[in-house]
Structure 1
Amino acid sequence: MTVTAAQGILLADRQGDVTRLTLNRPGRGNALSAELVTALAAAVDACYLDGTRLLAIEGAGEHFCTGFDLGDLDSESDDSLLARFVRVELLLQSVHDAPFATVALVQGRAMGAGADLVAACEQRWIAQGSSFAFPGAAFGLVLGSARLARLVGTARAREWIAAGRAVRADDALAAGLASRMIPAEERAAALAGLAERARRLDAPTQAAIQAATLGGQAAVVAAGAAQLSELVRSAARPGLRARIAAYREASRR
């Protein structure tokens, strides 16, 4: 069964206990508008209740996701931007803590919040030529840093965040940000195998393993609270909109 959500900006396809969500704003590089984040969060929440055992997230067109949509910045305020970033972080936590298997299927660019969405997934499969970038620190934002550090190590995470440069596919794979490099023609078979593995564990067992490998349920809750707090502190500094506008202008040069 295929369901189109939020006027087509998110496509949801459920086949048995496998759900595939496709970010469907290819003309905008699948950038995360407020509407797309709302639709994606609702779809992930639905997976908690509908028996999904594997959730795959992908992007339509050339890129996976080019990050937070800055296209309508003139209509935003510091406060509205803060609210939007909080919703992104809550979405990332929902994906990361899911009691089912999750996989990001990456092609092209995964930038900013889009790269953070990849890092929130249990499996992170990339196509040759993919790249990642974490530019948020350029406008003072702390988003997803702890999840990235758990995957690639503290020193490398700090380096990538501070530099804001593109991380190429081979480097992402070697560092652990990407878990596999899979050609497009092999993706369907690989997904079938991942779904079969995911079915070995019921939701309570998957959730318990997730918590145990992160230090226990209390640690999971504390980590989520800490990451949300870090985000809010960074985004609540006066001048967020001006900092983003300056970053956007510098990126155009």
Structure 2
Amino acid sequence: MNDAPLLVEHDGHVVWLTLNRPKRLNAMDDLLLEMLESTLKELAQSDTRVIVLRGAGRAFCSGYDIAPDSSEVGYAAERTAIQDRDRLLSNVERFTQIWRQPQPVIAAVHGVCAAGGTQLASLCDITIVADDTKIMASPALPLGGGYISPLWEHLVGPKRAKLMSFDAGRTISGKTAAEWGWAAESVPADEFDEHVRRTAHSIARTPLELLKLKKEAVNRAAETSGLLSYMRMGAETDALLHVTPEVHEYQSWIKEDGIKSAIQRFNADFNAAFNSTEMVNK
């Protein structure tokens, strides 16, 4: 069994990249991001025509790894805002490798797609989701997210982007995500794998040089609207969020008791108030 965090499968003119940390719902750590970046750079020099990015197991990607023992936890206390901004900008550069990739990149999103996972999918050229996918822009514990929101604004507009950003843990279905414009299309779960495969190979009929020029044309239009600049500005917002006393406190909760307990603690007052209201109304 291959336990590498990123699996690479060649399928004619199509290459499948599988995020392979299923026990962590494919949460992104430094090694996974480094492997993804280096693999994309290698494929940029190949005759591959289409790349499909997907997740192993029950999820596409649950975001950045914030387990108590991960490098993500505690960063706010250990770094200055400037140092953290620079770290986040390096992540932006990693993700924009997908944007700059000569080949079209399809995000095949199923199961769960949360926080930084939505950032990853948003930068792909085409996002195809299963109808029953659970999509969450803002983590259930508000640890930042300032450089995720600009991508949502670009795809779904400011009102919906703010709703998804402000309301920690708000989830929409794959079907809703397609209706909003975050995804290109949504398909029934039992048809998902075959639909993605068929779409990838259909696109791969077109020579790479033509696909590259078509991609560049659309990207230039998006860049003219300021998309990449907004992402870099978002890194600065995120760095400021990370050094607030509130986020420091949430990070300490994770270190003490783990992410699930931290989320329960964050939601305790809200759940108590609304559960009480529901009981009164019954």
1:196 partner SS: coil
Distance 2:44 2:235 in 1: 21
Residue 115 in 1 paired to residue 118 in 2? yes
User: Is 2:39 the counterpart of 1:43?
Assistant: yes
Query: Which residues in structure 2 correspond to 1:166-181 (within 5 Å)?
Result: 166-181=171-186
Separation in 1, partners of 2:154, 2:101? 17
Residue 215 (structure 2) pairs with residue 213 (structure 1) = no
CA shift, 1:174, in A, is: 0.7
After superposition, the C-alpha distances for 1:27-70 in whole angstroms (9 at most, x for unaligned) are 11111112111111212222322233322100001111111111
Question: Do structure 1's residue 94 and structure 2's residue 97 form an aligned pair?
Answer: yes
TM-score (norm 1): 0.83
Change (3 A) 1:143 1:243: farther
Q: 1:173 to 1:202 in 2, by over 3 A?
A: closer
Q: How far apart, in 2, do the equivalents of 1:198 and 1:166 lie?
A: 38
| Residue equivalent to 1:251 | 263
**Post-superposition shift, 1:236?**
5.3
Give ranges in structure 1 of 5+ residues lacking alignment: none
Is 1:77–2:61 an aligned residue pair?
Answer: no
User: How far off is 1:106 after superposition?
Assistant: 0.9
Distance in 2 between the 1:215 and 1:38 partners? Answer: 25
From 158, 162, 167, the equivalent of 1:158 is 162
Distance 1:188 1:200 in 2: 21
By how many angstroms is 1:134 displaced?
Answer: 1.8
SS at match of 1:139: coil
Change (3 A) 1:46 1:167: same
- Measured after TM superposition, the shift of residue 221 of structure 1 is 5.8
1:68, 1:112 within 8 Å by CA — same for their partners in 2?
yes
Q: Identify if the C-alpha distance between structure 1 residues 245 and 65 changes in structure 2 by more than 3 Å, giving closer, same or farther.
A: farther
In the TM superposition, what are the counterparts of 1:226-241 in structure 2 within 5 Å? 226-235=233-242, 241=248
8 Å Cα contact 2:111/2:132 also seen in 1: yes
Q: Could you tell me how far apart the structure 2 residues matched to 1:185 and 1:48 are?
A: 25
1:10 aligned residue? 6
Among candidates 95, 119, 142, match of residue 138 of structure 1: 142
- Return 27-36 or 228-237, whichever deviates more: 228-237
CA distance in structure 2 between the aligned counterparts of 1:202 and 1:63, rounded to whole angstroms = 29
Give % identity. Answer: 21
Structure 2 residue 153 is matched with structure 1 residue 149 = yes
1:153 is displaced (CA, Å) by 0.7
Distance 1:156-1:21 versus aligned 2 partners, 3 A rule = same
Assess if the C-alpha contact under 8 Å between 1:30 and 1:65 holds in 2.
Answer: yes
Inter-partner Cα distance in structure 1 for 2:219 and 2:18: 27
Distance in 2, matches of 1:128 and 1:46, equals 33
Unaligned runs of 5+ in 2: 266-282
Q: In 1, Cα distance between the equivalents of 2:196 and 2:216?
A: 28
2:119 matches 1:103: no
Using the alignment, how far apart are the partners of 1:210 and 1:47 within structure 2?
A: 21
Larger Rg: 2
Q: 1:92: how far off?
A: 2.0
Alignment partners' CA distance in 2, 1:88 and 1:63: 21
Query: RMSD over aligned Cα, in angstroms?
Result: 2.9
Matched residue type, 1:43: T
Partner of 1:193: 202
Post-superposition Cα deviations, 1:147-197, rounded to whole Å, max 9, x if no partner, equal 111111111011111113111122111101121123223332122112224
Deviates most, 121-130 or 231-240: 231-240
